[in-house]
Amino acid sequence: MSRFSASTLDLSRIDKSTLFDPLSFETFRQERIDDLKARLEAAGMEWDTFSLEDDSNIPLQETGALREMFVSQQIRDVAYNLTLAFAKGVWLDRLGDQHGTARMPLVAEPRDFATNPEDWESDDRYRGRIQLAPEGFASSGTPGGYLYHAMAASIDVRDAAVVVRNKGKHDPIVEMTVLSRLANGEPSAALTRAVRSRLMRDDIKLLTDALRVRPARPVSYAVKATLLIPPGPDPAVIKANAVASVQAMGDRYRRLGGGVPHSAIVASLHVAGVDSAVQVMPTQSVETLRFQYGLLTGVDIAVEVMSG
């Protein structure tokens, strides 16, 4: 979803910690002590024991400071949940309601989301559709609108990409590529038809657009490497963590047209305890065309303990 609005509005790259100044118990505590001291002095009451920990006023101010910090954090949590970048669960559903975009079920008879979120579309996928929703409000024919409606055609659509072929010629065509979330990612004929059926609606497709919906095609690759570790860590644990990390990387980069950066492969091998990764295969980035995606088919990792 990051190719359209995401080239400049990739929500996953927003650093949550930069939105507010960090909360500090000591700051709240000192502010309350300073305020109490000023109030007492204004009333003509000298308070010169505020530096003593056994002064009964100190625990009272500390209790108030702690409660104030908790309330401030709760307010921040609500503020985060009112933003598309950080909203989760039912909060994200409310943002979806504002954009006329409901969370999609994964099963025919889904249970309530509050108790069984596994029956429903994930937050990340839903967030991407909400981000594209304003494009779908256009009368018809915008690139973002086509992407929005492709993702809304079926919960089984993992990713979609749209380009205009033969632009500037007498026979331009809107080409939509569909990637499935099931199996190895190649969409079934039924899924392709479902996407085409939605996109062909009169209120979605521009009247003069010629539309083609094509299935995504995989570019297979396997990761092989030797990890060098210092004496001490359990090689079996290191290997298991590295395999899981590479598999997570492969899932993250199963996307249309973006390829798999070699740097991402190497980074995924450097789990905690790894000194270096050598003999890494593939030796370069996995390149893909606009209708292709990288498909991780295997992980072969060896672990060697470095001699002292």
pLDDT at residue 48 tops 70: no
pLDDT in tens, 173-221: 999 999 999 999 999 999 999 999 999 998 888 888 899 999 999 999 9
- pLDDT attached to residue 304: 96
pLDDT exceeds cutoff 80 at 135: yes
pLDDT above 90 for 169:
no
- In angstroms, rounded to a whole number, what is the distance separating the alpha carbons of residues 285 and 267? 13
Residue 176: in which H helix or E strand, if any? strand 173-180
Torsion angle, alpha carbons of 80, 82, 87, 88, to 10: 110
The two tokens of residue 290 are 């606009």
Q: What are the tens digits of pLDDT across the range 257-277?
A: 889 999 999 999 999 999 999
- pLDDT tens track for 214-240: 999 999 999 999 999 999 999 999 999
CA–CA separation, 115 and 101 (whole Å): 21
With bands split at pLDDT 50, 70 and 90, how would you rate the model's confidence at 119? Answer: very high
Q: What is the pTM of this model?
A: 0.74
Helix (H) or strand (E) holding 39: helix 25-42
Domains of the chain: 7-81 (no CATH), 89-217 (3.30.300), 219-305 (no CATH)
Model confidence pLDDT, tens digit, residues 50-69: 555 667 788 888 999 999 99
76 contact partners, CB below 8 Å, separation of at least 6: 20, 23
Residue 218 structure tokens? 């995989």
Cβ neighbours of residue 136 under 8 Å, at least 6 residues apart?
144, 145, 148, 149, 152
Nearest-angstrom CA–CA distance, 260 and 220: 11
CB 150 within 8 A of CB 195: yes
**Residue length of the chain:** 308
